[in-house]
Structures are given as structure tokens and as C-alpha cells.
């Protein structure tokens, strides 16, 4: 549905400065809400494009959805966007799908099973030295020039998936982010053997009353502690 309307004429606007949305986001959201709700009528719902309702907090299972993650790339006709769907059970993702049709990629994961890309198992890399780690960014700050910049899709979910497939070694954000951006992707990464946490190195928990986390840090298992240590001062400064 999203692919059929990609690179066509559709309404787009900003929910707030720097936060683009388009009519396709809303249409995909409505379709997913109807179809996923029919699959599991007892499950709650949390989506970027649906008004949040506290009823989800009483549900053991909750769908966490971003109908188009990477809307900026979608609007610009670039390929770095995907549909992100996760099923949360008792605060943790147990099913995750990232569908990136413009890239011909479908990522899947289930708790206790291997992560796959287009049906083939993927595995995070074995890098154990932070210097030289591949990071999907537009440009590296001076303090991180010992790292290696690689392609950066607009979708944070796809950037995390790159670690799962050994296309990158480290993804880190230092800001408050929403659960729907990362719920499916961190399951894919974790199932592929990557280390996953918030920017402080703490475990991620989903379906919280405030559905946000301070940053996400996904990396090969061997550099995760070093990455947390490198970012610690910046996190402290940002959080005051």
C-alpha cells in the first residue's frame, strides 16, 4: 500500500517543526489497526499516528507500530523508510517485522528464534574494538573521527537492522525517542546477537505510561560496554 503511493502526489505537512507526516502514514496506520486488531482483539495499541489511550497499560499484549518509519525519506522519494510492527508481551517485544519495500527488504524476528532478512538468517558482526566501528551517520563529530561512517537511511529502525545484518557495528541516539521507532528493530537486532540498551546502558522496556526511552544503543556485543562508556559524559551533559 505504501509502495504503491511512494513517489506520487499526496498531502504532507508537519505535526510540529521538524516532524513531517503525510496522508499515507495515516492510511497505513488505519489499515494496520484494523487488520492487527482482528488478529488479536485483546491486544492494546500504540502507534505514532493514533492518539494514545491509557487502556493499553492494562493489556498484557500490545501492538507497537510506526506505519512509516523514515517519513522524511518517504516524502523525498528516497528508499530509507519502512513499516515497523512489533508485538509486545509483558513489556518486551516477542514479534517484530520491518517491511522496507522500496529496498526489497523484509526483516523478521520472534523471541527465541533467529532474525531473518528476506527469509535468510542474519547475524551481527564480531567486532570487539570500538575504533573503526561502522556507524550509519551523515557525518561523524570530531570526537568520533576514529569511527567509520556508512550509509544512513532516515529510518532509525533500518539503521538498527543494519547492525543485525553486519552492515554496521554501532547505532546510538542521544535524545528522547519513542517506543514505536525501535520496538521491532531491537528485537531483530537482539535475535541476531547484537547488544541492545538505552543510551545509559540500561535495558529497554516497552508499553510504559510514557512510551519513550532516552536514546537507543545497539552494537556488536564486543563493543557495547565501550560505547556506553564513550557516551556517558554526553548523556550526563544532555540530561543535566
Residue 80 near residue 169, CB atoms below 8 Å: no
Q: Residue positions in the annotated binding site for Mg(2+)?
A: 48, 66, 68-69, 181
Q: For residue 143, how many C-alpha atoms fall within 13 Å in the half-sphere facing its CB? A: 5
3-state class (DSSP) for residue 55: helix
Whether 204 contacts 182, CB under 8 Å: yes
Q: Is 112 exposed, middle or buried (0-12, 13-18, 19+ CB in 10 A)?
A: exposed
Asked if residue 205 lies in contact with residue 92, where contact means CB atoms within 8 angstroms, the answer is yes
Q: Which helix (H) or strand (E) holds 72?
A: helix 71-75
Where is the binding site, in residues? 48, 66, 68-69, 181
Rg (CA), the chain: 17
Amino acid at each position: 500500500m505504501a509502495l504503491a503511493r511512494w513517489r506520487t502526489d499526496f498531502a504532507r505537512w508537519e505535526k510540529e517543526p521538524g516532524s513531517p507526516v503525510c496522508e499515507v502514514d495515516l492510511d497505513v496506520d488505519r489499515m494496520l489497526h484494523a487488520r492487527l486488531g482482528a488478529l488479536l482483539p485483546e491486544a492494546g495499541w500504540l502507534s505514532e499516528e493514533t492518539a494514545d489511550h491509557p487502556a493499553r497499560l492494562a493489556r498484557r499484549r500490545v501492538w507497537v507500530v510506526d506505519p512509516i518509519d523514515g517519513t522524511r525519506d518517504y516524502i523525498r522519494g528516497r528508499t530509507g523508510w519502512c513499516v515497523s510492527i512489533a508485538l509486545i508481551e509483558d513489556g518486551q517485544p516477542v514479534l517484530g517485522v520491518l517491511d522496507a519495500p522500496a529496498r526489497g527488504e523484509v526483516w523478521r524476528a520472534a523471541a527465541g528464534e533467529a532474525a531473518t532478512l528476506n527469509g535468510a538468517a542474519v547475524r551481527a558482526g564480531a567486532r570487539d574494538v570500538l575504533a573503526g566501528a561502522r556507524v550509519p551517520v551523515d557525518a561523524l563529530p570530531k570526537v568520533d573521527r576514529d569511527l567509520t561512517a556508512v550509509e544512513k537511511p532516515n529510518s532509525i529502525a533500518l539503521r538498527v537492522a543494519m547492525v543485525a545484518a553486519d552492515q554496521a557495528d554501532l547505532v546510538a541516539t542521544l535524545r528522547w525517542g519513542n517506543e514505536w521507532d525501535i520496538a521491532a528493530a531491537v528485537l531483530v537486532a537482539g535475535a541476531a546477537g547484537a547488544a541492545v540498551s538505552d543510551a545509559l546502558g540500561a535495558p529497554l522496556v516497552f508499553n510504559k505510561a510514557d512510551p519513550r526511552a532516552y536514546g537507543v544503543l545497539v552494537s556488536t556485543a564486543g563493543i557495547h560496554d565501550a560505547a556506553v562508556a564513550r557516551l556517558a559524559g554526553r548523556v550526563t551533559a544532555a540530561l543535566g
